[in-house]
Amino acid sequence: MPTRRTRSLCVLAAALALTVTAPAAVATAAGPAPGSSAALNEVMFVGNNWDGTADVIESTGDFARIGRIDVVPDKDERMAEINADPIHWIYFMAIRNSVGEGHDQFVDDMYSTPDGTSVVVSRPSFADVVSLDLATGRINWRFPVSGYRSDHMAVSPDGRRVAVSASTSNRVHVLDIGTGEELGSFATGDKPHENVFSSDGKYIWNMAIGDVNTALDATWLDWTKGDRRITVVDATTFEQVKVIDMRERLDAVGLKDHSDAVRPAAFSPDESKLYFQVSFFNGFFEYDVATDRITRTKTLPKNPATSDDRTTWVNDSRHHGITMKPDGTKLCVAGTMDDYATVVDRATLQEGPLVSVSKPYWATVSGDGKSCVVSESGADQVTAIDFRTGEKTVSVPVGDHPQRVRLGHVVAGWTGPSAG
């Protein structure tokens, strides 16, 4: 883990920030395959951020690896474009040396299409979203986002729309998952990050985390981190429905020293409660949607081996990754900088065993709902933790620096793209 992040290029990039309008999706190969009536297998996609690959593993049981996808088959072409554009090159290097910890970020998030024939991937360093044909590995379509970096995505409940954060332009684009056509977009706070569709598909919640790459990490300098807020929009018109500034809600319950930069979040099954993490905090909060207030705070144990120097925590993280068991009884939390994951009882907020894992960066529920699956970005593996016992059941090797893990589907019998 780095002792201090490189920031000079990021500062220069910010000084040169431009407002860019994203062009329409660019077709780079034959369009996506027509809807398939073939049987589908549920799987998990694991994005190996520094590798530029995605591993496909079983969604339950032993979580064995099924196949691997190259998510940057057009790398040479993209690099030629970046090298020919000085401003784009500055941003590319800034991403590498700040949020990328010295590495390029080739895959952040991914979702499969409803027919299981393609996977859609956001690629931060290339500032785009691409659809990859799972049979051939070829690109179906490419959408360059506004600005210079793409980030977290969310897929609508019907699987037909995907929302992607454009983190340097403070905007979220909503795309047709089959064609890459932009259906609309909306403005956010600074550095949009997590996106969540409501279960009925009517709303999109976006969490803006602000400037997490500066060295101004002391509590009294929190105001320098930018406009951090939750933006809720109508998922059809993309008009703003509500803005939630957690600064006001945190202050109201006496938590003035906590950051209001909302990181990963999980709704209760009835969406009456939101559980969310914030920068620098080893724990999470419970937010009541109807009363618009924070109702409970859970502080999780600190790892005594974790430095107290906030500038050593990657991208202002402390804990980054939270998910909920489908029946709403348990939460699973990734203690990123503290090198553990734990299952928490939702009623009592009592944590279970602290499962030792290396820099866990995400938490996802298995296909059968019985396990929490965390990505170990420091050990290049994913680990399953039993919701009932809170204990580790299995770890599976994957590629370099796994982060996002998402449930999806592939056509039955799929083992990877065909050669060539």
Tens-place pLDDT, residues 58-91:
999 999 999 999 999 999 999 999 999 999 999 9
Q: 3-state DSSP call for residue 175?
A: strand
- Euclidean distance between CA atoms 232 and 92, whole angstroms: 30
Output the CA–CA distances (angstroms, integers) from residue 331 to 322, 346, 359, 392, 406, in the order listed: 7, 6, 18, 15, 17
pLDDT score recorded for residue 215: 87
Question: Which parts of 238-329 are beta strand (E)?
Answer: 240-244, 262-267, 273-278, 283-288, 293-299, 322-324
pTM of structure: 0.91
What is the rounded radius of gyration, in angstroms, for the C-alpha atoms of the chain?
20
Please determine, for residue 20, whether its predicted confidence score (pLDDT) is greater than 70: no
pLDDT score recorded for residue 8: 36
Please determine, for residue 33, whether its predicted confidence score (pLDDT) is greater than 70: no
pLDDT score recorded for residue 25: 63
pLDDT score recorded for residue 165: 98
* pLDDT, tens digit, 9 for 90 and up, residues 223-244: 899 999 999 999 999 999 999 9
* Boundaries of every domain in the chain: 146-411
Q: Specify the CATH number of the domain 146-411.
A: 2.130.10.10
* pLDDT, tens digit, 9 for 90 and up, residues 100-127: 889 999 999 999 999 999 999 999 999 9
pLDDT score recorded for residue 29: 40
pLDDT score recorded for residue 79: 97
